[in-house]
Amino acid sequence: MNKGSAKFSVSGFDGGQRWQISIWLLTINGGFPAMNKQTARIDRADYGIDAPDVIRRFFQWGFFGIALGCASIFMVHRGVLIWTRIIAVPAICIGCTFVLEGLIMLWGSKVGKLRLRDKLIDSIPWRGDEMVLDVGCGHGLLLIAAAKRLRGGKAIGIDLWKKEDQAENSREATWRNVQLENVADKVELKDGDAQKLEFADETFDVVVSSWALHNIYNQAGRAAAVREIVRVLKPRGRLAIADIRHTGEYAAVLRECGMSDIKRSRPNFLFVIPTFRLTATKK
């Protein structure tokens, strides 16, 4: 079996002859061009696929369910294992649901999050000379968009560069996007942990973050990250966060820290799980 594929087989006997159904399914790593590094375009920025392991499992289980349902229909048609007809329709329906969820998440990674990025960046009243920090910048989605709003100033992105959070996540991949988007003179990348930002108090005019803070798996750690963001913001500095979980929790910490004009958007379902936008201003 080649890497990036999976084989499901069902066999039986009919009239003394053995039959077998074998279905080869492509997994998301080897079979989908969107995830294949060798087929990626080299002339445009690639902001990565979020939660690649989750999407991979959706497709694998989805195709398995469809294959199982089709195999059940075939066996019933051949008069073998008639009882399997009770699983045919449910298996196909469940399989199609998993595939649809995977497709929605792929669309969210490739199209939806770019639209949400624009809304988040547009919510900030830019002067053009800001110091900007992107916490958990990944491939530079918000970082680069913010840098394009600058005439002076600087946009700094920090990340731990975990590939399980975003496919092919690395400082090199992000810097490549920075160069392709022609903002290398306005951007700086650093290794950094959101829970302990290595910047002085009141350094930044704007702090942004997208789909990053929920990857801190304990509440105390997430609260520490939000407090660190408030600490490095200048007075009247702006905060803009997009995340799939815990935004209500973030808002509570912001209120404790004395932030003003705290606003939480309605949910956006570009990743199946709802995404919320959270904005605030430091007094």
pLDDT tens-place string over residues 265-277: 998 887 677 899 9
Rg (Cα) of the chain, in Å, rounded? 23
Q: Which domains does the chain have, with CATH numbers?
A: 5-110 (no CATH), 123-281 (3.40.50.150)
Taking a C-beta distance cutoff of 8 angstroms, is the pair 208, 132 a contact?
A: yes
Inform me whether the pLDDT recorded for 130 exceeds 80: yes
In this prediction, residue 189 carries a pLDDT of 97
Question: Backbone phi, then psi, for 194, in 5-degree steps?
Answer: -60, -25
User: Rounded distance, CA 171 to CA 187, Å?
Assistant: 12
Taking a C-beta distance cutoff of 8 angstroms, is the pair 194, 160 a contact?
A: no
> Lowest-confidence range among 118-127, 141-150, 155-164?
155-164
**How does pLDDT run across 51-80, given as a tens digit for each residue?**
888 889 999 999 999 999 998 888 888 777
